[in-house]
Structure 1
């Protein structure tokens, strides 16, 4: 299974008064990880969007284990947990520099036409992307 890790430098504005990362910022970090994963496969969302296709989140979950703090680097590791040609579930682990698990999560996505939000098949519309996802899960 292919996994991609992206470094996150915790910025001051991402934290609360205690210097702890505000919980919603992890969802942004998931997106950073997902984008890095897609780019590591040789694709990017911009090209998909130029064809009138977008990939909205349909469900997302995060399980908070321990806090990330201002000043410490973190790492978001992303992989494709499941994919069926229409729906994709990405998995995420966020760790600190000591490799302690801070947050786990996943997000579900579909590929839809931008103008109608009707689902489309990645298998048919983007066969190279489809093949790369199948290979990444192996």
Structure 2
């Protein structure tokens, strides 16, 4: 199972008045990690979109364990948690500089046609992606 590891320096704009990373920012970091994983698997999300296919989030679940603050550097680990030919669920673990788990979670995505938003089968539409996702999924 491939795990992409992405380091992110926490910027001031990502924090609230208390200097703690705002909860919404973690989804942005998950997106960065997901893009890095897709690249590490040899694919490109940008090329996917250019071909007329999108992968919107249909579900997001995050568990906040420990606060992250302005100036910290975090590591986002991303992997394919589950995949069934239609839906891909990505797993995430975000660690602080002391290697303590701060946030964990998943996002689930479905491929859709960019014009009609009708679901598309990755297995049929992108067989090379399908083969890699089948091999790399955790679940």
Which TM-score applies when normalising by structure 1? Answer: 0.97
Shift of 1:50: 1.2
What is the RMSD of the two structures over their aligned residues, measured on CA atoms?
Answer: 0.9
Please give the residue correspondences for 1:13-92 in structure 2 after superposition, counting only pairs within 5 Å: 13-92=13-92
User: How many aligned positions are there?
Assistant: 138
2:109 is aligned to 109
Aligned to 2:89, the other structure's residue is in SS state strand
Q: Which runs of 5+ in 2 are unaligned?
A: none
Which 4+ runs in 1 deviate beyond 6 A? none
Alignment correspondent of 1:7: 7
- Structure 2 CA distance for aligned equivalents of residues 15 and 122 of structure 1: 37
Distance 1:100 1:91 in 2: 17
- Please give the alpha-carbon distance, in whole angstroms, between the structure 2 residues aligned to 1:38 and 1:127: 15
Aligned to 2:133: 133
Query: Matches of 1:40 and 1:2 in 2, distance apart?
Result: 8
- Residue segments in structure 1 that go unaligned for 5+ positions in a row: none
Deviation, 1:2, is 1.4
Local SS of the residue matching 1:34? helix
Alignment partners' CA distance in 1, 2:55 and 2:87 = 10
Q: TM-score, normalised by structure 2?
A: 0.96
